[in-house]
Structure 1
Amino acid sequence: MDERELLERSGGPVTRTRLRDDLAALGLRPGDTVMFHTRMSAIGYVAGGAGTVIDALLDAVGPAGTLMVTCGWNDAPPYGFRTWPRPWQDAVRAEHPAYEPESSEAEHDNGRLPEALRRRPGALRSRHPDVSCAALGPAAAELTADHPWDDPHGPGSPLARLVARRGRVLLLGAPLYTLTLLHHAEALADAPGKRYVTYEQPVLAEGRRVWRHFRDIDSTDGAFDYAPVVPEGQDPFETITRALLAAGLGRSGRVGAAESHLFEAEQVVTFAREWIERKIGGGRGIGGNSGAE
């Protein structure tokens, strides 16, 4: 989409002031701890680009508020490299650089904002190479410290700490399936057939590059087989997020030209965990037959 199309979509330039006011109208408040997902093109023409969006978010939450994003690692070795011919594996093991929270690029598929936020002075990033999070603000250290090596979406993770802080999640023009916090609900859910993956990545340990094994829910192909309980062709996270909105658990509005949604993190996890346990587990676990759809 070219500049002219973006300008027409947003009815002129989307400025820092316009973004700040739209975010406040959506419900973002000073002092909030908020994890955000953004699709820049949906907002329209943003004067100043990604930096302006971050500035506006900081304006909205104020000096007492904290921003968080999911980063990952763009240059991580492929999960399947262990199936490569042995000489190729050996070459990767010998020379692939280690993940470094301060310098390793955020996953490009997550958009421009994660990389822009993690580069901000004062931003901190968690130690887990595959699902690292970055945060900026007074709660950044609390959110990112000691990210568990295994089960990195579960207890003790940045996602769990966001919930404990009564944080919020903002989809700023981002598709409904990008609600990463749902992985925390999957990690906690008591339902049969939960799927896990193991993989290896290089990290730094006391200044030395070492290869470490990791175990996590399958956050790529799905922690559960959702096929029997979601519409054909629809992403399971989109299905759950639509159900959240239908239940009135979220605020919706326009930020620039983007349809955006603001959720309470605790409500997201409670609802999604119940939904999974009821749909996948037939009513097992905390949710039972709660009637949530």
Structure 2
Amino acid sequence: MPTPPPTGPLVTRATLATDLRALGVRPGETLLAHSSLRSLGWVNGGAIAVVQGLLDALGPDGTLVVPTQSGGLSDPALWTSPPVPEEWWETIRDTMPGYDPLVTPTRGVGVVPETVRTWPGALRSAHPQTSFAAVGPRAAKIVEDHAPDCRLGELSPLARLEAMGARVLLLGAGYDSCTSFHLAEYRIPSPRVAVGRPVRTAEGSRWEVVTEVSISSEQFDELGADFERDRPVVRGLVGAADTRLFSVADAVAYAERWLELHRSREEWATTDDAPAPRRT
């Protein structure tokens, strides 16, 4: 059977920038973007055109930030999609290449963040599992000194974005991808978990285990629905994508109150989900 023609709308770099400005993206601001390329429609130029459109809307004084997580750098004992034999675990830990911000690809966050990661002038933070990449004049300040035992907390780019007055753009993405909500988990009583990953040293890669705050996005869709009901969230279409725009600081403050009310400590202690131990 012949391949059916693509469905629209036809989206270009220029129409993306126009739609983003109409939504309220401001030249010169700092924007943390979570995105779904597929949701936009038929994009001429794919992820490259999306990044160009975002940068056009932000202008030369704006800064684009994306999550560039590498959840595959995780303990094979936790892998479920698919699992690997237990007798392999130690060898995998011993031989897994350590995180290199210039080389390690993103995983599980879509093709747009991977495109930003390799963009000319992009800078990437140092955390081996939950890094962020940024392009623009504030990039260095945002990504520097990401502590290796602080995935998404006070010593991560999220806290700097909050302090800078940055906004979140959910470009066809749901609230389950909103990393800003995780910063709230660091500010309320939280279980802690052991997290293993490979790190790069002068002598080569080695396996290390650190103690981290337990984090989970399991309730973030429900949290996001309440946040959107109670707080100012701009909604509109960019291409065909249902898109949301809101303050990082507002999202973190709301999530802090919400999580204290809605999350049980017992449930939380068993639902740590970042980085995702997924292998495909």
TM interval, shorter chain, is 0.7 to 0.9
Q: Deviations over 1:215-250 (max 9, x none)?
A: 22333xx28xxxxxxxxxxx5101111111111321
User: What 5-or-longer segments of structure 1 have no aligned partner?
Assistant: 224-234, 282-293
SS of equivalent to 1:131: coil
Seen in structure 2, the aligned counterparts of structure 1 residues 212 and 14 have a Cα distance that, compared at 3 Å, is same
Which protein, 1 or 2, shows the higher relative CO under an 8 Å CA cutoff with sep ≥ 6? 2
Contact 1:186 / 1:273 at 8 angstroms: preserved in 2?
yes
Contact 2:55 / 2:64 at 8 angstroms: preserved in 1?
yes
- Residue aligning to 2:7: 6
Seen in structure 2, the aligned counterparts of structure 1 residues 91 and 79 have a Cα distance that, compared at 3 Å, is closer
Seen in structure 2, the aligned counterparts of structure 1 residues 64 and 4 have a Cα distance that, compared at 3 Å, is same
Q: TM (normalized to structure 2)? A: 0.85
Contact 1:201 / 1:211 at 8 angstroms: preserved in 2?
yes
C-alpha displacement at 1:280, in angstroms? 4.1
* Runs ≥4 residues deviating over 3 A: 2-6, 81-87, 278-281
Percentage of matched positions with identical amino acids: 36
Q: TM (normalized to structure 1)? A: 0.82
- Residue aligning to 2:274: none
- Residue aligning to 2:52: 55
- Residue aligning to 1:272: 255
- Residue aligning to 2:238: 255
C-alpha displacement at 1:79, in angstroms? 4.8
Contact 1:79 / 1:199 at 8 angstroms: preserved in 2?
no
C-alpha displacement at 1:114, in angstroms? 1.0
Alignment of 1:278-289 (within 5 A): 278-280=261-263
- 1:104 and 2:100 are equivalent in the alignment: no
User: What 5-or-longer segments of structure 2 have no aligned partner?
Assistant: 265-280
- Residue aligning to 2:273: none
- Residue aligning to 2:192: 196
- Residue aligning to 1:94: 94
Contact 2:235 / 2:242 at 8 angstroms: preserved in 1?
yes
Alignment of 1:222-261 (within 5 A): 222=216, 235-261=218-244
Residue type at the aligned position of 1:37: H
Contact 2:125 / 2:132 at 8 angstroms: preserved in 1?
yes
Q: 2-side partners of 1:90 and 1:80: how far apart?
A: 9
Alignment of 1:166-205 (within 5 A): 166-190=165-189, 194-205=190-201
C-alpha displacement at 1:87, in angstroms? 5.3
CA RMSD in angstroms, aligned pairs only:
2.4
